[in-house]
C-alpha cells in the first residue's frame, strides 16, 4: 500500500484511538465504531460479528441493518457468507452477494436491499474471533485498497476485543480454566524418557499496548532495529559451542535464520507499518495472516514450519517491547515441564536445561524442528494432544511419559507413586541393559542374532555406542531433506553420509534411498494431492520418475564411502523390474565415477526393502539380483492387512503377531535362505521383545530397531531357547486365531523369558 492510499486508514485509526478513550459503555463504543467505519468506507452497512466459545458468530453491532437483530442473529461456523469468512480466514469481496451459493438469508436483519459485500476475518493468534463486514445497495466490487483498509481496521479491532475495550465483561462466554480434576491424555512419543514435575505454560504472546502509530518514520526505525537485533542473536546462537556443532539442531537454526532474513516477510512488515500501525501491531498483523493461512494447509511440512514463524514473530515482539526473553533462569521453577500448543526450536533453547524436565506440545511430529532439538538435548517430549492446553493451570503437577506418550495432569497419589516406581524401575532396567551392552545377543541354545539400530539424524548416532548396537540397519536419508528448507546440495549430503560412516566405524551401515511422498512432502518438490498417498507416488516410484534426484543421492553416497564398504537399498519396490531399473542407475553412477578417475568405495552392495506383499511372491527372481533383503515390517503390515497405520480406529484392529503375517515372514526367511541371500527385518516389530522373540523363532538373524528397544530385546534373546520356541510356534502358524500374542506370552512365562 502506498503512502497515499494508506491515508484513509490512518485517519480512521486515529479516530478509533480517540473513541476507545471515551468514558462510555462497551456497547456504545462498539456502536459508534461501526458508524465511524461505515462513514470512512462510504458504506451503507457496517456490521461486527464476534465468535462465542461454541464458535457461533453473533451480530454484536451494526450500522445500516435492523438494530433489533443485534445479539439475536447468529451463524454457525461455515454458515452464510460471514460463516464462510470465519471458516477460511480469508476476505470475501462480492458485487452481488445474494447470488453466492453460501448466502444465508436472515430476515430479521433487513439486509434485502444490499447487494455488494466485503468482509474480512478478525484474527488473533491466527484464530478467527470475529468478522467485520461492509455492504452497499449498488453492485460494486471493492478495490484492493479498500480490502486492505478493512483488514487493518480488523487487526486493531482484534486487540480491543481481546482487551475487553469493546465488550462488557461476560459478553462472551468465559472458558473454565479452574478445572482441578485429574486428566489423562495419550499422545505421540517424540523423545524418550519419563518427566515428573510441574506445568510451565509456554505463552510467548506479548500484549500490545499501542496499535496505532504517532510517527511512521519512528516505527520504521524501531522495526528495522528489532529485526537487526534478532538476526544478530541467531548468529550468536549458531556460533555458541553447544549449539554451533554440526548436526540437525544446527540445521534447524540455519533454517530459522533464513526466515529472519526473508525479504518477503520484512516487506510485509514494512507495508503494515506504512499503513499506520505501530511496529508491534505490524508484526501482529503479518503473523496473524500467516498463521491463519498456514493452519489451513494440508501439507504437514508447511504446518510444522508455522511454529518457527510464530517463534520468530514472538521474539520480534519481545524485542520491540523490551520484555525479557522467555525462560530466564530465575523465573523457571525446578522440575519444569513446559506445555504449549506449538513451539519453535529457538524458544526451547531459551529455557534453562538444568531445570527443564520435559516438553509437551498439542502439535508436533518426530521430524519437527523442536523435536529434533529436544532429542539432541535429551529432553523427554510428547506431542499430538488435542485440546490439551485448555485443561492446564500454571503449576499443576504433571507426568509426561516420552516412551508411551501418556500424560497425567494433576495425577492422584497412586499414579504419582506408580510413575515414581516406574522411573526407578526404568533406572534399574537401564543399569541391566548397560551391563550387557558389550555382550553379544546369543540365545541360551547358541543362536546368534545381530541387533542394529534404526537412525535418520546425526543426533541418533551417539546411541549406537550408548545402546551397544552392532551397526545401523536402516539409515533414513529423507529426514535430512525434510528438516532442510531447500534441497540439500551434493556436498551437504556427502558430508552427512561421511559422518554417519565415521560414527559407525567398522560397523555396517545400510542406507535407504529417499522414501519421500505419502506423509513426507517437501516444499521444494512439487507433488499433486493424492487420495491414498501411502500407496501413491512415493519412494522408489519418485526416484525412477525423477532419476536425477536418485542419481544425485547415489553420487553423494559413493563419494562418502570412498575406501570402505557401501550398502544401500531401495524402498517401496513392487516389481523386480523396478529394482533392476534402480540398480541400473547405481551402476551408471559407479561407471561415471570410474571414468572420472575418482576413488571408489571398497565394495558396493545393493539391496531392497521388502514392504509390498507382491514382492514376496517374486523372491526367486529378486534373490538372483539383490545383494540383500530387508523386510520393512511397518509398511508390510499396513499393506498386508489393507489397514492405514495412521488411522486411529484401525491402530489395534490387526496384530503383528497374526498367524497369517507370521506365516508370510517365515516364508520370506525360507526363500532367502534357499538362495543364500541375507535377510533382516526393521520396524516396530523388531523393537518389542515379544515380537522379536517370534522373529527369532521364524529364522531372522538380523534385526534393526529403535535405540530404546535394543536393551530389552537383547535381554530377551539371552534368556530364550530359540529351538524350543520354534518347535512351539511353527505348528501354530496355520491357526485361525486373530493373534498368537497370548500363546507367546504364556510360553515366555513358562520358560522365564525376559519380555
* Catalytic option among 46, 339, 623, 682: 682
Axis crossing angle, helix 216-239 with helix 248-260, rounded to the nearest 10: 160
From edge to edge, which strands make up the β-sheet containing 356-361? 183-186, 406-409, 397-401, 194-201, 336-340, 356-361, 381-383, 188-191
Length of the chain equals 755
CATH level 2 (architecture), domain 183-421: 3-Layer(bba) Sandwich (3.50)
**CATH code at 7-163:** 3.30.450.40
46 flagged as catalytic: no
d(CA 724, CA 524): 53
Measured between its terminal Cα atoms, the distance across the chain in Å is 67
pLDDT value of position 524: 55
C-alpha cell at 658: 497374526
The closest of 114, 115, 131, 133 to 123, measured between CA atoms, is 131
**Residue carrying the nine cell digits 535377510:** 679
In degrees and rounded to multiples of 5, residue 690 shows phi and psi of: -65, -45
pLDDT value of position 118: 94
In the chain, list all ranges with CATH 3.20.20.60: 436-751
Topology annotation, domain 436-751: TIM Barrel (3.20.20)
d(CA 579, CA 550): 13
pLDDT value of position 519: 55
pLDDT value of position 595: 95
pLDDT value of position 676: 96
* Catalytic option among 160, 369, 666, 728: 369
Q: What is the pTM of this model?
A: 0.59
Summarised one tens digit per residue, pLDDT across range 410-434 is 888 878 887 887 777 777 777 888 8
pLDDT value of position 359: 95
C-alpha 585, offset from chain centre: 33
In the chain, list all ranges with CATH 3.30.450.40: 7-163
pLDDT value of position 53: 67
682 flagged as catalytic: yes
d(CA 305, CA 343): 10
Nearest-5° angle of CA 193, CA 341, CA 183? 65
Give 514's Cβ-side CA count (13 Å radius). Answer: 30
In the chain, list all ranges with CATH 3.50.30.10: 183-421
Residues of the chain with pLDDT under 50: 1-7, 169-179, 244, 246, 326-330
Q: Which residues contact 96 (CB under 8 A, 6 or more apart)?
A: 115, 116, 139
For 173, which DSSP code?
A: P
Phi-psi label, residue 361: left if phi above 0, alpha if psi -120 to 50, beta otherwise? beta
The closest of 406, 381, 361, 359 to 187, measured between CA atoms, is 406
- β pairing state of 116-124 and 127-136: antiparallel
Amino acid at each position: 500500500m502506498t503512502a497515499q492510499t494508506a491515508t484513509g486508514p490512518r485517519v480512521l485509526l486515529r479516530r478509533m484511538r480517540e473513541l476507545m478513550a471515551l468514558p462510555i459503555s462497551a456497547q456504545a463504543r462498539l456502536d459508534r465504531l461501526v458508524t465511524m467505519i461505515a462513514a470512512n468506507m462510504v458504506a451503507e452497512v457496517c456490521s461486527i460479528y464476534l465468535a462465542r466459545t461454541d464458535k457461533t458468530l453473533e451480530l454484536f453491532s451494526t450500522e445500516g441493518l435492523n438494530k433489533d437483530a443485534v445479539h439475536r442473529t447468529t451463524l454457525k461456523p461455515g454458515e452464510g457468507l460471514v460463516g464462510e469468512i470465519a471458516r477460511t480466514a480469508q476476505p470475501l469481496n462480492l458485487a452481488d452477494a445474494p447470488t453466492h451459493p453460501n448466502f444465508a438469508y436472515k430476515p430479521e436483519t433487513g439486509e434485502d436491499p444490499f447487494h455488494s459485500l466485503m468482509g474480512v476475518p478478525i484474527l488473533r493468534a491466527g484464530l478467527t474471533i470475529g468478522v467485520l463486514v461492509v455492504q452497499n445497495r449498488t453492485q460494486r466490487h471493492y478495490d484492493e485498497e479498500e480490502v486492505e483498509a478493512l483488514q487493518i481496521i480488523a487487526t486493531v479491532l482484534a486487540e480491543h476485543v481481546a482487551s475487553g475495550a469493546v465488550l462488557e465483561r461476560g459478553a462472551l462466554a468465559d472458558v473454565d480454566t479452574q478445572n482441578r480434576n485429574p486428566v489423562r491424555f495419550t499422545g505421540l512419543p517424540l523423545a524418550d524418557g519419563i518427566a515428573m514435575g510441574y506445568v510451565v505454560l509456554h505463552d510467548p504472546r506479548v500484549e500490545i499496548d499501542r496499535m496505532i502509530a504517532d510517527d511512521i518514520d519512528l516505527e520504521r526505525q524501531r522495526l528495522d532495529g528489532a529485526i537487526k537485533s534478532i538476526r544478530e542473536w541467531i548468529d550468536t546462537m549458531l556460533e555458541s559451542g553447544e549449539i554451533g556443532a554440526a548436526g540437525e539442531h544446527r540445521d534447524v537454526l540455519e533454517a530459522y535464520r533464513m526466515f529472519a532474513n526473508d525479504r518477503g516477510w520484512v516487506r510485509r512488515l514494512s507495508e503494515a507499518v506504512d499503513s499506520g500501525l505501530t511496529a508491534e501491531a505490524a508484526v501482529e498483523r503479518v503473523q496473524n495472516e500467516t498463521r491463519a493461512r498456514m493452519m489451513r494447509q494440508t501439507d504437514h511440512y508447511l504446518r510444522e514450519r508455522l511454529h518457527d514463524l510464530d517463534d520468530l514473530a514472538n521474539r520480534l515482539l519481545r524485542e520491540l517491547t523490551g520484555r525479557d526473553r522467555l525462560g530466564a533462569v530465575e523465573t523457571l521453577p525446578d522440575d519444569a515441564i513446559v506445555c504449549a500448543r506449538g513451539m519453535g526450536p529457538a524458544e526451547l533453547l531459551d529455557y534453562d536445561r538444568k531445570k527443564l524436565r520435559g516438553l509437551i506440545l498439542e502439535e508436533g511430529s518426530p521430524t519437527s524442528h523442536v523435536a529434533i532439538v529436544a532429542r539432541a538435548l535429551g529432553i523427554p517430549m510428547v506431542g499430538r494432544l488435542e485440546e490439551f492446553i485448555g485443561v492446564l493451570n500454571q503449576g499443576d503437577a504433571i507426568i509426561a511419559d516420552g516412551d508411551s506418550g501418556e500424560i497425567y495432569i494433576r495425577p492422584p497419589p497412586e499414579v504419582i507413586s506408580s510413575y515414581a516406581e516406574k522411573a526407578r524401575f526404568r533406572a534399574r532396567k537401564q543399569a541391566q541393559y548397560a551391563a550387557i551392552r558389550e555382550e553379544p545377543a546369543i540365545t541360551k541354545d547358541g543362536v546368534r542374532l545381530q541387533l542394529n539400530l534404526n537412525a535418520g539424524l546425526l543426533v541418533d548416532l551417539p546411541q549406537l555406542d550408548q545402546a551397544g548396537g552392532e551397526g545401523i540397519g536402516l539409515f533414513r536419508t529423507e529426514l535430512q531433506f525434510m528438516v532442510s528448507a531447500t534441497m540439500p546440495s551434493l556436498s551437504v549430503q556427502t558430508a552427512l553420509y561421511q559422518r554417519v560412516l565415521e560414527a559407525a566405524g567398522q560397523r555396517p551401515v545400510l542406507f535407504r534411498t529417499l522414501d519421500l511422498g505419502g506423509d513426507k512432502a517437501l516444499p521444494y518438490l512439487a507433488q499433486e494431492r493424492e487420495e491414498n498417498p501411502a500407496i501413491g507416488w512415493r519412494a522408489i516410484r519418485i526416484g525412477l520418475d525423477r532419476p536425477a534426484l536418485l542419481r544425485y543421492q547415489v553420487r553423494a553416497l559413493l563419494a562418502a564411502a570412498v575406501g570402505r564398504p557401501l550398502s544401500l537399498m531401495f524402498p517401496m519396490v513392487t516389481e523386480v523390474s523396478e529394482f533392476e531399473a534402480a540398480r541400473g542407475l547405481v551402476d551408471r553412477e559407479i561407471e561415471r565415477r570410474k571414468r572420472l578417475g575418482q576413488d571408489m568405495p571398497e565394495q558396493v552392495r545393493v539391496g531392497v526393502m521388502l514392504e509390498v506383499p507382491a514382492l514376496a511372491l517374486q523372491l526367486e527372481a529378486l534373490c538372483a539380483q539383490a545383494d540383500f533383503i530387508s523386510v520393512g515390517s511397518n509398511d508390510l503390515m499396513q499393506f498386508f492387512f489393507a489397514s492405514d497405520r495412521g488411522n486411529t480406529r484401525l491402530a489395534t484392529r490387526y496384530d503383528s503377531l497374526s498367524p497369517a503375517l507370521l506365516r508370510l515372514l517365515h516364508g520370506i526367511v525360507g526363500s532367502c535362505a534357499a538362495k543364500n541371500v541375507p535377510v533382516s527385518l526393521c520396524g516396530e516389530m523388531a523393537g518389542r521383545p515379544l515380537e522379536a522373540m517370534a522373529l527369532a523363532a521364524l529364522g531372522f538373524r538380523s534385526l534393526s530397531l529403535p535405540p530404546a528397544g535394543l536393551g530389552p530385546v537383547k535381554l530377551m534373546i539371552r534368556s530364550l531357547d530359540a529351538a524350543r520356541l520354534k518347535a512351539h510356534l511353527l505348528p501354530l502358524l496355520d491357526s485361525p486365531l486373530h493373534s498368537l500374542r497370548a500363546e507367546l506370552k504364556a510360553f515366555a512365562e513358562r520358560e522365564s523369558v525376559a519380555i
